[in-house]
Amino acid sequence: MKKVAIVTGASRGIGRAIALRLARDGFAVVVNYVNHRREAEKAVEEIKTCGNHAIAVQADVSKTTDVARLFDQAEHTFGGIDVLVNNAGIMPGKRIMEMENELFERTFAVNVRGTFNTLKQAARRLRRGGRIVNLSSTAVALGMPIYAVFNASKAAVDALTKTLATEFRGRDITVNAVAPGPTATDLFLNGKSEDEIEDFVAMAPLQRLGTAEDIANVVAFLTGPDGGWINGQTIRSNGGLE
């Protein structure tokens, strides 16, 4: 029986890299997106060209009804769900005194409520032996200016990860988080000057930005046969950045 993975926010960046990697590893993949339909369809086309199975499903993870429909469609198309990767998220960069209430609420709606919504569905629907990987951030540990609200939302994701791992006792389902460091995606690069980017490059001992594929490799390990004894952990994938 082919295993099935849902990857949220998978039309671009890290989510897309995860979807493509899991497809190469033999999963049928549900490529979730909210706005970038064409990019999601291109990811599906690339997966199918390699002989694997995938569908694109539009859903806003912050909306309960959208998430239920996402899981419904995955089950209807592929017969069940084995893996959930919670990648969808937004990353506002503003000091607290400048943060609009609406942006604060949207950040928590997507990053926290969105993760809660998908975890709630997964708790009911994942098959025995399933895997959940949430995307956190190394920024939580760094405490750098302008990321307070983003960090608070990802700290909540870390807490959900640890607790849900214990709630799955007896079902052989693991729940972990991957916390990328600075990664060369549009989400991270947009709005930053070359000097700012070089400062981030210099921070890690490996002296480069991460790539989307670097993060996808860690997710592949956690969802693959060798990752089954890792549970309730947040793994920093950041080139040694402290």
28-33 and 54-58 beta bridge pairing: parallel
Read off the pLDDT of residues 154-201 as tens digits, 9 standing for 90 and up: 999 999 999 999 999 999 999 999 999 988 888 777 778 888 888 888
Tokens of residue 213, six digits: 């594929």
Round to whole Å and give the CA distance between 36 and 9: 9
Q: Domain for residue 99, yes or no?
A: yes
Contact 104, 151 (CB under 8 A): no
pLDDT > 70 fraction of the chain, expressed in percent and rounded: 100
Give the Cβ contact number of residue 213 at 10 Å.
14
Helix orientation angle between 13-24 and 37-49, rounded to the nearest 10 degrees = 20
SS3 198: helix
- The count of domains in the chain is 1
Read off the pLDDT of residues 51-63 as tens digits, 9 standing for 90 and up: 999 999 999 999 9
The domain of 165 spans 4-180+211-237
* pTM reported for the whole predicted model: 0.95
Q: Domain for residue 196, yes or no?
A: no
Q: Domain for residue 146, yes or no?
A: yes
Q: Domain for residue 47, yes or no?
A: yes
Which residue, among 74, 70, 76, has the nearest Cα to 118 in the 3D structure?
70
CATH number at residue 111: 3.40.50.720
DSSP state of 239: T
SS3 129: coil
Read off the pLDDT of residues 73-89 as tens digits, 9 standing for 90 and up: 999 999 999 999 999 99
